[in-house]
Structure 1
């Protein structure tokens, strides 16, 4: 059930982002920390790419404020047991490390291999404190428990993969922030339905920060989130999926985070496969992403972003229905209608 502290976290995070983003922008302009146009980039003028600092600050301030006023809370309204606390701290501190890795890349530039190594170490430490995937759904075998250390590589691939998946879709104004915000709201609702209010609290704070950032990041953007913001949101979404959803020992629960985040997952998977089929490195940037293909098909910047929003909302509503939520089917039908309308608009435009 939604509690006042969930709303407080969402609102406080959004307010902090709204206040701090212009400050971060001024600092970035004065220090020359800007992303120059050219190449595969679609912006036409230098843009500050440190907006992730605001998203991180908003989420962290919201979480610390709620925790300082009431501490960790479980479904019964009592303090969490130590194991659950370790999981929440694993997501929070792991998010900090991923943010710092991205920030270092924004400021100084890091090689793809060095980023991947640091992210893998951070994800491994998160696994150590309980942010671990214990079950997988395998076709023809059903729900399978991962024994011992086998959980480690699966968890690391999930956490690191999602951090990079969100970073990879951060190619248009407002795209990564909007997709992450929608996914966080869906995770908030599903976590509450599954009696995981602590995980829902993290999702609420992240949703407020991501959606608040759209005030300055939606087309035409005034600032970019940079790798720091993308890595932070991707890891946090993946972490919430693990501690809030995958911990449920049912096939539906295990599949939910993959369904909610299906858009960035499928986009990243398709791009990697296409690059490898042509003998290219998976880390070489190109214009094979979904948003690039929609732009190449002649759709406008804003329509492309809104269409991918609708797609994200659609898979999120399917997750609500799949979770067994009574009203989930209603949301699924509504989002299907929205996606159908945007698809119809796209076909008319293509003609």
Structure 2
């Protein structure tokens, strides 16, 4: 998997951020309105509300992910980002959609932990064979057949790390914002334009949701959002490897960020 990074005009970055923020804000507001007006409550949601001690909606990840994918494909078809990255965007969309579907199922039906973990591994393996791979450490250690184990561990580990901090108002979304902002500047500094653009529109999408997630939260990411956003962060940190930046520490950024609450 390779990433081509022709220049993307600066205004496109700002436009991508603005559109993703606005679309996520509108989608999140609409979702809250639907739940409150129609009083949509099913048993799993009632249990969550009792556990949280207040009315809360666990599907915040839906508007965040839909906003991210909307802007990604809108700008692609508008010709503002490189068309040679079609397969990369397709793989990201496939992976995020599968993980979001798992999260939605878990938020509604409380998927058994072992089954959920197995599904995460399957998704990670699919993405490994799709090209998201850690094939070496630095410029010295070739992983060979061990690559699949480290890659799956990385994807599943980051995904669940985000999932673990969800539930506290603003914590998970705040940490994701911090990771994305940091990655955006680091990638721009290293001229990894496409990777930086992905983090910019993800930042906008998460911030549009974060406004409603700030204490006292009306909505949380839920497994729908924490799993799919954790997956996105893990995949974005693997992108530099496709450009042979094997001696960098991009992959440490989400780990350092997740250590902050600890």
Deviation at 1:246, TM superposition (A): 6.8
For the pair 1:146 / 2:166, whether they are aligned, the reply is no
For 2:97 and 2:174, locate their aligned partners in 1 and report how far apart those are by CA, in whole Å.
21
Which is higher, the Rg of structure 1 or of structure 2? 1
The correspondence for 1:208, drawn from 185, 204, 219, is 204
Q: TM-score, normalised by structure 1?
A: 0.66
Q: Which runs of 5+ in 1 are unaligned?
A: 74-78, 268-288, 291-351
Q: Which residue of 2 aligns with 1:195?
A: 191
* Partners of 1:210 and 1:118 in 2: CA distance: 25
Aligned counterparts, 1:1-351, within 5 A: 3-29=10-36, 30-33=39-42, 34=45, 35-38=48-51, 43-70=52-79, 72-73=81-82, 79-80=83-84, 85-137=86-138, 143-147=140-144, 149-244=145-240, 247-251=243-247, 253=248, 255-264=249-258, 266=259, 290=262
Q: Where do 4+ consecutive residues of structure 1 move more than 4 Å?
A: none
What is the root-mean-square deviation of aligned Cα atoms in Å?
A: 2.1
**C-alpha displacement at 1:91, in angstroms?**
2.3
Could you say what secondary structure the match of 1:31 adopts? coil
Alpha carbons of 1:27 and 1:236: their partners in 2 closer, same or farther (altered >3 Å)?
same
Aligned counterparts of 1:50 and 1:249: Cα–Cα separation in 2: 36
Contact 1:169 1:175 in 2 (8 A): yes
TM-score scaled by structure 2?
0.87
Q: Partners in 1 of 2:115 and 2:128 — Cα distance?
A: 20
Give the Cα–Cα distance (whole angstroms) in 1 for the partners of residues 86 and 165 of structure 2: 31
Aligned equivalents of 1:167, 1:135: Cα separation in 2: 27
CA drift of 1:186 comes to 1.4
Offset, 1:222: 1.1
Looking at structure 2, the residues matched to 63 and 181 of structure 1 have their Cα atoms a distance apart, in angstroms, of 18
Q: Give the corresponding residue for 2:4.
A: none
Aligned-pair distance for 1:162? Answer: 0.7
Contact 2:184 2:197 in 1 (8 A): yes
* Corresponding residue pairs, total: 249
In 2, the alpha carbon distance for the partners of 1:146 and 1:87 equals 23
Q: Distance in 2 between matches of 1:13 and 1:21?
A: 12
Q: Give, in whole Å, the separation in 2 of the partners of 1:23 and 1:108.
A: 23
Aligned-pair CA distance for 1:51: 0.9
Shift of the 93–5 alpha-carbon distance from structure 1 to 2, 3 Å rule, reads: farther
